Amino acid sequence: MMLRVGLTGDLGSGKSTVARMLAERDAVVLSSDEMGRALMQPGERAYAQIVEAFGREVVAEDGTLDRKKLAALAFDAKLPRIEELNAIIHPAVIDAQAEQLAELEKTSPHAIVVVESALIFSTQHAPRGSWRDRFDCVLVVDAPEEVKIARFVDRIAAGRALCGDEREGFEADARRRLQVQHATVYPGDCLVLHNDGDVEFLEQQVAVVWEQLQQMERAGGKR
């Protein structure tokens, strides 16, 4: 039977790298971030709700959402509005995932489907019960906090040299976001990958986990 796998981890943990490695092993990967971005486009189900809640100031000149302005409001240090934004996006994304999983179950009944999402455990806005109702197992990607912050800053910089104040600002932004995510306590029955070494070390762990997932699929979703 099709195996439904959740893939999660904090900002900068490396879960997207793990998702890519699993896709290379023939897993079907669904990205919550990509779904969220699609649902936030003009005419899609979350767009109008976001504009109504956050105002026209988050709309760019071309009519799309200005994601930087929206993120600044969501993660504002004095008055964060991230849960307000999550209350709009999360139910729409989870519904879209459920639709895709139902279709995949018909067309690929023995697939291993990986749903990549940072907020599998911490979302308060899931319309379809708990995470255990949505997934057969969950993979958690973990890394030391300073490593996660450095990865976040490097991704934002995109190869550009940063001045001291700019780097400090990005680091502070990363810490604010991690503080929100740190409220999560991961259940003890998750499969954990420790991304605190080089890519080869992570690849070795993914290879072991992939064997476990294949065994679970053959056993009907049971560990």
Contact status, residue 91 vs residue 134, Cβ threshold 8 Å: no
pLDDT of the residue at 193: 94
Tokens describing residue 55: 């105002």
Give residue 61's pLDDT.
95
Options 3.40.50.800, 3.30.413.10, 1.10.1040.50, 3.40.50.300; CATH for 3-39+97-218 is 3.40.50.300
User: What is the spatial distance between Cα 98 and Cα 95, in angstroms, rounded to a whole number?
Assistant: 5
Q: What was the pLDDT predicted at 116?
A: 95
Q: 5 in helix, strand or coil? A: strand
CA distance 7 to 31: 10
Predicted pLDDT of residue 220 = 83
Where do the domains of the chain lie? 3-39+97-218
- The residue ranges of the chain whose pLDDT is under 70 are 122-129, 180-186, 221-223
pLDDT at position 180 is 64
pLDDT at 185: 58
Query: Quick one: which of 85, 98, 84, 102 has its CA closest to 127?
Result: 98
Beta-carbon neighbour count of residue 97 at 10 Å? Answer: 19
Specify the pLDDT at position 52: 95
Whole-number pLDDT of residue 122: 65
**C-alpha separations of 190 from 6, 31, 119, 144, 209 in Å:** 10, 19, 14, 18, 11
